Structure 1
Amino acid sequence: MEEKLRQSKTDVLKIVLFGPESTGKTTLSGQLSRYYNTVWAPEYAREYLQNKWNNERKTCENSDLLPIAYGQMALENKLVTKANKLLICDTDLLETKVYSQEFYGGFVDPLLDKMSKENTYDLYLLTYIDIPWKADDLRDRSDARETMFKAFEQALIENNRPYILLKGDQKTRLKTATKAINNLLKLKTMHSEIALKNLTNKGISLTKLQQQIKCFENNDFHIHITDVATPTNGILQYSESEQDTFIRHYQQKQSNLDILKFVPASGAATRMFSELYQFVASEEETPYVKTFFEQLESFAFCAEVIHQLRLKHSTFDITDTESKLEFVNVMLHQNYLNFGKLPKGLIPFHSIKNDVFTPAQEHLAESDLYAKGEEAHANIHFTVSEDHVDLFKKHLTCASQNITYSTQKSSTDTVAVDKDNNPILQSDGSLLFRPGGHGALIENLNDLKADLIFVKNIDNVCTQAQNKTTVRFKQVLAGKLLKVQEQIFTFLLELENDLSIDRLAEIQKTITQELQIKTSKPLGQQEIITILNRPIRVCGMVKNLGEPGGGPFWVSANELTQLQIIEKSQIKLTDNSQALLLDTATHFNPVDLVCATKNYRGEQFNLTRFVDDKAVFISEKTYEGSPLKALELPGLWNGAMANWTTLFVEVPIATFNPVKTVNDLLKSAHQSK
């Protein structure tokens, strides 16, 4: 039966009209068919249900949905063979699924659910409800058009379908639709079958490719900051007794929560050893290299490197430049320890007596101290590169914690372009793609189901003897988040009923004072619900001691001013007012987050809905000697979380101990006391 719902293979573009009843889908389908001189697949359900009404005087029942789905796919597969470059579809299986969910208490036949996800289309045209309702024998729920529209849009978002919204009269809708379709046809004409297959294999639609190219063409990805977040303006500071209150609150709730620690760990250690690579190339002992060798025995990996050297030489001492070069070669070269190509998470960082610990092991030990929830063991998730999964699993095979892994999805890769913004082709005719940066990890985070998620970078660890402060403030952040979440959930339950203007004003005041979200106008009930019903994050902020990276700022968008983490590269430094604000920043983002990704009904948010797609980074690189431009997706804690409810809490600098270069391991946080 599955085959009856499967799409036929085709090179034809498929465009779906998608939306609630009486929103102009059939009219526009016919218009598009004539405009492009092609065929269109009408809605089989209308014919099926009209016959049922005529013969039985009955409307649609749950048992009708699979026969309707079979009929729809038979029609689509028949007509696609007659299509001229593109097929217009008046509906698809995903639309049938939405109706099943909304009309039959959330029930969806498993086969319909499966095939609605597997069948793919190039573009969805989501039709808005600004067209007057036209009643007939089959249509109902004229009073629920807003609810139905939201259900349709949510289905597109949750299933990651490419879509545009159509509003206005027939002429306006046709113009908007044809512009989008023409762009897709142009892209398809420009690229070879190999390039198009390349897109398909990665799970990247022509629409997404078009959006990426548009980012290069716009070329202005700067974020306008309105103010700096400081301890008197957006960064919360708490006394020791207040911290203790948050810790107690977290500990009281902890055993009833599904808790997870999320650690981005895909980076190789190459840049960590960049100074030593330069030493091998130049044989010049810079002050940095001299420090490295003067304090060699302070590194946790020293004994292992010496051991490897003495397997080659019965005795080995570092006496001159030649012996130093041999030490570095054994440490970094792929025929020996290969540290330069290992993931940073597996480099020996710390030693206590005869025991050596990597960052991955330190994260496990740390998670046991604050991230145990309803289960006996802590849950920890590492995002790693595909090449490193087996290395991590082997390294942590004896760990007692529940460890899971994921890799960056190929569908989050981004196209590389030349100076004229044309996609670059490789020698085999396929498009050149590059990893989308750590912002792509929002997809990985979106796949995880937990009540509370701690986020921390792989290289930000200290020795176990010194992690008391880190553990304390992780619990402070978690307790603060739970307090805020409880308040938000109480409001959202209250907002399920119509509230007075005075009560809405009281809630808005709390939003401004407690949630750090400002607006100059009175908010309506639906606006308040939208603001409150979002993922929540509480972010630790440390005093800025000159570290490179992002910081806490105020940003305005859509009549709201709220807190965001902004990177220096996102700020337009040629604008003197923006540069001045950056210079007055007092705090720095150490990537120390606690997140809540479920709503007040316990349902998982689709985190991709809360990304600021415009907050991208564009960098210049080379490919085979020629310049290219690369696109990085909105950073995980920057644009990818831009539309979350965000709070900043000051935490001590002792919680921030990153290892960016190997000599950072000489700092006290990484040395045995």
Structure 2
Amino acid sequence: MLTNQDLNQISQRGITPEMVEHQLDEIKKGFPFLKIEAAAAVGNGIFSPTPEERDKYVEEWSKYQEEGHKVVKFVPASGAASRMFKNLFAFLTADYDVPTTDFEKEFFDKRKKFAFKHELCGKCKENNDGACVCDLIKAGNYKEVVANLLEAKGLNYGQLPKGLLLFHSYEDGPRTPMEEHLVEAALYASSDGEANIHFTVSHDHLELFKKKVEEKKAYYEKKYNVHFNVSFSEQKPSTDTIAANPDNTPFRNEDGSLLFRPGGHGALIENLNEIDSDVVFIKNIDNVVPDRIKDETVLYKKLIAGILVDVQKQVFEYLRILESGKYSHEKIEEMIRFVQHTLCCRKHDIKELEDADLVIYLKNKLNRPIRVCGVVKNVGEPGGGPFLCYNADGTVSPQILESSQIDTNNAEYVKMFKEGTHFNPVDLVCATKDYKGNKFNLPKYVDRSTGFISSKSKNGKELKALELPGLWNGAMSDWNTVFVEVPIGTFNPVKTVNDLLREQHQ
């Protein structure tokens, strides 16, 4: 099936032929659905702190920061913003010339509310003999305005990464999401006057990001009295996956070469694995707000970080006791309660284990990476949800599931997903070192059976794409997970350009 040319192409990506054959086999067979016990809820898998508890954990995080630990803010920022402008791209090719859909009308009616309005106006004048946006609209030339926003002759927003678009207006000039993340890092993720932030970017956008950081860094360092260490990484070619035809044979480009596609955000577990840090915050590039409403975001980031270091402290203490061999039966029972209630990891037949087996079980469950995930009340936004799921070893633990991982023929599961009280806004804080200070090897904790197959097309031809286990789904399946309820105000993603017109982004 694979030619010598294929083998060369595979080798250049750092992939083996066996891996490609395995991926094709996965595409053919598909992935098993997960076995679910329940949707997580407050009191059953989700912790909802009282105001007193919240203050205690925020204080705990402040103390941790003062102790000089290394903290990194990890921001997946690889994607181009083209999907943000899907509706406007459609307008450019439509057989009408004036705004017709509700989306188009809103974009033009409220155009002066966008943070990029001055830059757009400048490009319109530059490319249209001094005619500004208003002049073009008066002349009925709406499409020229959109072309100046999206195309290379203008702002090129259709090809730029989301992190480098102008999102928010300020008196001292508009800000990009990249800048908002620098500000956030200064406000809750700094230690010893240092703020470390890591962006995962696509190869095509790396230099643009570096240039923008160099342009803006000194300004924010002075404003927040902090030194930024900004680093970047790209998704590794070795994490790309082969595409297949509908009949499961390898999909080939017009020149006969194999088509490889990025394996989705799950590939970033490799990038995360290279971060040497005591604590890592993870948050998507587009989930940022202006300074006027940042306080709530900052408060709850400190809260979930405080819970993380509190849980970690207890885990480390238990592991040291187990290693010493000096423990009573009562202490073992205390550890079991902690694993069951705080980590929500349950083993239904645990009472049948002898003490020696219990110790092995506890060591295995405690000595793992830890993540605390903020979850918000479900208001119908798309996204994964927090569930309690069965693992291969028969235990039940908290997991974040996407709809594609749920068997839609199982009415009970569909009901759980639809009626779930919370969903995951990608609001994570992670501890990736063990109780001896060694880094965990994160790929070891991936559940490889949680990938999924999606339908895509290239040059008008249908294809099957293999998505790796998602970064906060199967890629963190074997981590200790704590779900914490956070307010919906901490979740403000920008999926379309008109989302920037929402009150939270003004």
Q: What TM-score do you get using the length of structure 2 for normalisation? A: 0.92
Cα displacement string for residues 624-670 of structure 1 (whole angstroms, at most 9, x for unaligned residues): 43321110000000010011000000001110010000111111111
Q: 1:612 aligns with which of 447, 463, 467?
A: 447
Number of residue pairs matched? 481
| Residue 388 (structure 1) aligns with | 205
Q: 1:448 aligns with which of 271, 275, 279?
A: 275
Q: CA deviation at 1:288?
A: 1.1
Three-state SS of the structure 2 residue aligned to 1:397 is helix
Does residue 366 of the first structure (1) align with residue 181 of the second (2)?
Answer: no
Consecutive unaligned residues of structure 1, counting only runs of 5 or more, are 1-189
| Residue 165 (structure 2) aligns with | 347
| Residue 379 (structure 2) aligns with | 545
CA distance in 2: counterparts of 1:668 and 1:234, whole angstroms? 32
| Residue 313 (structure 1) aligns with | 129
Given that 2:31 and 2:450 are in contact with CA atoms closer than 8 Å, whether structure 1 keeps it comes out as no
Given that 1:192 and 1:429 are in contact with CA atoms closer than 8 Å, whether structure 2 keeps it comes out as no
Does residue 504 of the first structure (1) align with residue 307 of the second (2)?
Answer: no
Q: CA deviation at 1:280?
A: 1.2
Given that 1:292 and 1:663 are in contact with CA atoms closer than 8 Å, whether structure 2 keeps it comes out as yes
CA distance in 1: counterparts of 2:230 and 2:31, whole angstroms? 40
Q: 1:275 aligns with which of 76, 83, 87?
A: 87
Does residue 249 of the first structure (1) align with residue 66 of the second (2)?
Answer: no
Q: 2:70 aligns with which of 258, 268, 286?
A: 258
Identity of aligned residues (%): 45
Q: Which amino acid aligns with 2:45?
A: G
| Residue 424 (structure 1) aligns with | 251
Cα displacement string for residues 451-505 of structure 1 (whole angstroms, at most 9, x for unaligned residues): 0000000000000121000000000000000000000000111111334555323
Three-state SS of the structure 2 residue aligned to 1:285 is coil
Q: CA deviation at 1:427?
A: 4.4
Consecutive unaligned residues of structure 2, counting only runs of 5 or more, are 222-227
Q: CA deviation at 1:577?
A: 1.1
Given that 2:150 and 2:158 are in contact with CA atoms closer than 8 Å, whether structure 1 keeps it comes out as yes
| Residue 150 (structure 2) aligns with | 332
Instruction: Identify if the C-alpha distance between structure 1 residues 307 and 428 changes in structure 2 by more than 3 Å, giving closer, same or farther.
Output: closer
Does residue 527 of the first structure (1) align with residue 339 of the second (2)?
Answer: no
1:164-313 equivalence runs, <5 A: 190-255=1-66, 256-282=68-94, 283=96, 284-311=99-126, 312-313=128-129
Given that 1:455 and 1:594 are in contact with CA atoms closer than 8 Å, whether structure 2 keeps it comes out as yes
Does residue 415 of the first structure (1) align with residue 242 of the second (2)?
Answer: yes
Q: 1:477 aligns with which of 304, 308, 311?
A: 304
- The CA RMSD over aligned residues, in Å, is 1.4
Q: Which amino acid aligns with 1:589?
A: N
CA distance in 1: counterparts of 2:113 and 2:434, whole angstroms? 48
CA distance in 1: counterparts of 2:105 and 2:485, whole angstroms? 36
CA distance in 1: counterparts of 2:88 and 2:323, whole angstroms? 61
CA distance in 2: counterparts of 1:263 and 1:356, whole angstroms? 20
CA distance in 2: counterparts of 1:354 and 1:605, whole angstroms? 43
CA distance in 2: counterparts of 1:460 and 1:331, whole angstroms? 22
CA distance in 2: counterparts of 1:612 and 1:370, whole angstroms? 31
Cα displacement string for residues 513-536 of structure 1 (whole angstroms, at most 9, x for unaligned residues): 111111112252111101111000
| Residue 120 (structure 1) aligns with | none
CA distance in 1: counterparts of 2:254 and 2:147, whole angstroms? 34
Cα displacement string for residues 426-454 of structure 1 (whole angstroms, at most 9, x for unaligned residues): 34443221110010000000011000000
Cα displacement string for residues 47-80 of structure 1 (whole angstroms, at most 9, x for unaligned residues): xxxxxxxxxxxxxxxxxxxxxxxxxxxxxxxxxx
Q: Which amino acid aligns with 1:234?
A: G
Given that 2:120 and 2:154 are in contact with CA atoms closer than 8 Å, whether structure 1 keeps it comes out as no
CA distance in 2: counterparts of 1:254 and 1:353, whole angstroms? 31
Q: What TM-score do you get using the length of structure 1 for normalisation? A: 0.70
| Residue 597 (structure 1) aligns with | 432
1:651-670 equivalence runs, <5 A: 651-670=486-505
Three-state SS of the structure 2 residue aligned to 1:549 is coil
Q: CA deviation at 1:610?
A: 0.4
Three-state SS of the structure 1 residue aligned to 2:8 is helix
Cα displacement string for residues 525-581 of structure 1 (whole angstroms, at most 9, x for unaligned residues): 111101111000000001111101101001011121010000112111121111111
Does residue 486 of the first structure (1) align with residue 303 of the second (2)?
Answer: no
Given that 1:195 and 1:429 are in contact with CA atoms closer than 8 Å, whether structure 2 keeps it comes out as no
Task: Name the stretch that deviates more: 313-322 or 227-236.
Answer: 313-322
Larger RCO (CA within 8 A; separation ≥ 6): 2
Does residue 584 of the first structure (1) align with residue 401 of the second (2)?
Answer: no
| Residue 262 (structure 2) aligns with | 435
Three-state SS of the structure 2 residue aligned to 1:329 is helix
Work out which of the two has the higher radius of gyration on C-alpha atoms and give 1 or 2.
1
CA distance in 2: counterparts of 1:424 and 1:310, whole angstroms? 45
